[in-house]
Structure 1
Amino acid sequence: MQENTKQVYVVDDDEIFHFILKKMLEQKADNLEITSFLCAEDALAQLQDQPQYMLPNLIILDMNMQRMNGWDFIEAYKTIKPSLSQHIPIIMCSSSMDMRDMQKVQRTPELMAYITKPLDPMKMKVITDVLA
């Protein structure tokens, strides 16, 4: 990985979403390395096993997944966060338009934003601004 390459973890159980997001990100930003995880447990394991200098610059996290959902991921992430050498911004991405979910995101310091699916240029700007 090149020194100025930005690492993005996409944690979502929808393979089509991974494909679309990757294509949209490649159009907006250079020097990106996107790692896809179809389940939250694999992403957590990678965060714990990854050398500190290879931690992601951003995590895009689905709210509704099988076994471990986005909120479960955040709870598990809180326990490993103190051992990480850098702050990792997390954007929750979901098809849910439920106001309770949006309010919960605002009360969760680990989450920097909430964007709804499907993605559009305005929502992509939220993501690319973090990587800028």
Structure 2
Amino acid sequence: MVETVKQVYVVDDDEIFHFILKKMLEQNGENLEVTSFLCAEDALEELQHSKGHPLPSLIILDMNMQRMNGWDFIEAYRGIKCNLTQQIPIIMCSSSIDMRDIQKVKRTPELKAYITKPLDPEKMQQIKDYL
């Protein structure tokens, strides 16, 4: 039996966060392929042109990025999600602890969870629960 590889997109402008998250996910022992995007536009482009390629099982999205932030990404994603073959759970991951951000996440149906940085084993378990 061939185990399918689960795709995870990480959309964050912090290269160190990509490195840490990838290492923490690899410790899980699951068959994962992590694709890093340093800007949201590139991730959207990849999703729009995913014909024939497997879609990610999960998107981990930073809130505060240059040019296009996480909220802009969600707005753009809403415009393309009807063309995707599956709905993709999105977890917003940010260092913000502002209650307005947390409330906005709760009102955004595309977002399944809000996880604050830095990551720890408990937060990693939350992420793994969506894989």
CA–CA distance in structure 1, aligned partners of residues 121 and 29 of structure 2: 13
Q: Is the Cα–Cα contact under 8 Å of residues 12 and 40 in structure 2 kept in the other structure?
A: yes
Partner residue in 1 for 2:15: 15
Counterpart AA for 2:93: C
**Pair 1:5–1:13, CA change in 2 (3 A):** same
CA–CA distance in structure 1, aligned partners of residues 128 and 51 of structure 2: 24
TM-score, normalised on structure 1?
0.95
Deviation at 1:91, TM superposition (A): 0.1
4+ runs deviating over 3 angstroms: none
Partner residue in 2 for 1:81: 81
> Where do 5+ consecutive residues of structure 1 fail to align?
none
Q: How does 1:1-132 map to 2 (within 5 A)?
A: 4-51=4-51, 53-131=53-131
Identity of aligned residues (%): 76
Q: Is the Cα–Cα contact under 8 Å of residues 63 and 69 in structure 2 kept in the other structure?
A: yes
Question: More helix per residue: 1 or 2?
Answer: 1
Q: Is the Cα–Cα contact under 8 Å of residues 7 and 58 in structure 2 kept in the other structure?
A: yes
CA–CA distance in structure 2, aligned partners of residues 5 and 121 of structure 1: 22
TM-score, normalised on structure 2?
0.96
CA–CA distance in structure 2, aligned partners of residues 18 and 117 of structure 1: 12
Deviation at 1:65, TM superposition (A): 0.1
> Where do 5+ consecutive residues of structure 2 fail to align?
none
Q: Is the Cα–Cα contact under 8 Å of residues 29 and 128 in structure 1 kept in the other structure?
A: no
**Pair 1:30–1:46, CA change in 2 (3 A):** same
CA–CA distance in structure 1, aligned partners of residues 103 and 52 of structure 2: 32
* Aligned-residue CA RMSD (Å): 1.1
